[in-house]
Amino acid sequence: MAILSNLNDSELLQLLKDGREDAFTEIYNRYWERLVATGYYYTRCKEVAEEIVNDVLMGLWLRRASLVIQSLPAYLGTAVKFAVFKAMARNKRRNQLLSGQLLAEDGAAAHNDTEQQLDALFLDEWLRGIVEQLPEKARLVFVYSRDEALSVEEIAGKMDLSPKSVEYHMTKALKTIRDSIRKMSIFLHSFLS
């Protein structure tokens, strides 16, 4: 039998799906610190970060048979960020209720507003992460187009490329983003179900 620490993530995931607790323990040990650091970055509270990571990892174990995971670090990192933002929304709403800031009749609207803001923040950060991983020219074309609202001709002039090259890199960037959104929707479906 192979030593689990020598296995790659795909091999560990297969063992996890087979119900191997030792594979879960290896994943837990392999990613614990990194995930707590991610949680702490957003919460600034070690105990809350640890609780969130425990919940995410327990969710991984409980849904092990039905999950489709392409990249374990990306899946776990996204799950922790998503759980942090949800916890922040719950805490904010709880604090508002305790301080009497929310009236019963508009409490649901305020809660939905906070949830939407946190979801938008999460999606914006997630999208920026995808854009940062694009090849340099595709990333620059996307940023110039979306963030600076430059036309294809302006981007071509700024980057010393032909307009066709700019269109090629934009198409490449948008395809990568679309593929990532599709994978995220699969992740969210499995995470929330």
Average pLDDT over all residues of the chain: 83
Q: Which amino acid is at 27?
A: I
Global model pTM greater than 0.75:
no
pLDDT for residue 165: 94
Q: Which residue has the higher pLDDT, 20 or 97?
A: 20
- In the block, tokens 């071509």 appear at 156
Is the domain 1-116 a CATH 3.90.1300.10 member?
A: no
Question: How far apart (Å, rounded) are the C-alpha atoms in residues 182 and 59?
Answer: 21
CATH topology agreement for domains 1-116 and 134-193? no
**What per-residue confidence (pLDDT) applies to 114?**
63
Please give the Cα distance from 31 to 61 (Å, whole number): 14
Tell me: domain 134-193, CATH 3.30.70.20, correct?
no
pLDDT at 105: 45
Mean pLDDT of 135-154: 90
pLDDT in tens, 80-112: 988 888 888 777 777 766 666 555 445 555 556
Structure confidence at residue 110 (pLDDT): 54
Q: Phi-psi region for residue 19, left (φ > 0), alpha (ψ -120 to 50) or beta?
A: left
**Residue where the block lists tokens 């509270």:** 45
Please tell me the distance from the alpha carbon of residue 164 to that of residue 137, in angstroms, as a whole number: 13
Q: Which of 121-130, 135-144, 161-170 has the lowest mean pLDDT?
A: 121-130
Domain boundaries, the chain: 1-116, 134-193
Of all residues in the chain, the percent with pLDDT exceeding 90 is: 44
